[in-house]
A and B are shown apart, each in its own frame.
Chain A
């Protein structure tokens, strides 16, 4: 898929663990893993908002479009 999720990069920058982020934003680690691995088909605005709030970043820091 041409949309790449850079969540692990942001997590490394903020020195935060996936489990921690999952707890803050209120989703399961399994769902966060789906998002991180790029298997997710869609992201809810509420989830994106929570991630941006927790990581103090913009949606563009997490989502990136790379032409195939």
Chain B
């Protein structure tokens, strides 16, 4: 269980570090809408450096910036799951629900960012075809992995229950 303790510590530190990011995002969203000059603060979202944007791009970028809040929520849920693990409540219903929720949120985060990036680039006529392992595809896979993990935990929970009721 030392590995779990290490992971829990890392996630706890990550959660504490994430708090200023929350404030930055809450500052960035109104900034995107109110300002037209982006030279003072360089903004880079998903490898797109923001220089000058119109109203559609503003909307897309603020949605993409807001989607980062989803990742923060995922970290919070993961923190809760690890806490339950450390309490030896591996097969608690909350674990199954939270793992599934983390998966769904990561998938939504990826979809929002993929579509957002596409619309932003389309708006700037910068559409290009690229074959590479995108971090968003990895996030999407991670989301699916969490959902599969939730299903596996459900099977394990049922097996444990059956084992407990074997006389």
Q: Mark A18-35, 1 if CB is under 8 A from B, else 0.
A: 000000000100011011
Chain B binding surface, main DSSP class: mixed
Complex Cα–Cα for A29 and B46 (A): 62
**In this assembly, does A13 line the interface, its C-beta being within 8 Å of a C-beta of chain B?**
no
Number of residues from B at the complex interface, CB < 8 A:
5
A39 with B165: CB separation less than 8 A: yes
The distance in angstroms between the C-alpha atoms of A34 and B167, with both chains bound, is: 8
Which residues from A are CB-within-8-Å of B162? 41-42
B166 close to chain A: CB less than 8 A: yes
* Interface residue? A47 (CB, 8 A): yes
How many angstroms from the CA of A43 to the CA of B161 in the assembled complex? 14
Q: How far is the CB of A22 from chain B (nearest CB, A)?
A: 10
> In the complex, what residue of chain A is closest to B161 when comparing beta carbons?
A41
B144-166: CB near A (< 8 Å → 1, else 0) gives 00000000000000000110011
From residue A53, how far is it (CB to closest CB) to chain B in Å?
Answer: 15
> In the complex, which residues 119-167 of chain B have their Cβ closer than 8 Å to any Cβ of chain A?
161-162, 165-167
Of the candidates A27, A32, A40, A47, the one whose C-beta lies within 8 Å of that of B165 is A40
B166 near A43 with CB under 8 A, answer yes
Question: Can you list 20 residue pairs at the A/B interface with Cβ under 8 Å?
Answer: A27-B167, A31-B167, A32-B167, A34-B167, A35-B167, A39-B165, A40-B165, A40-B166, A40-B167, A41-B162, A41-B165, A42-B162, A42-B165, A42-B166, A42-B167, A43-B166, A43-B167, A44-B166, A44-B167, A47-B167
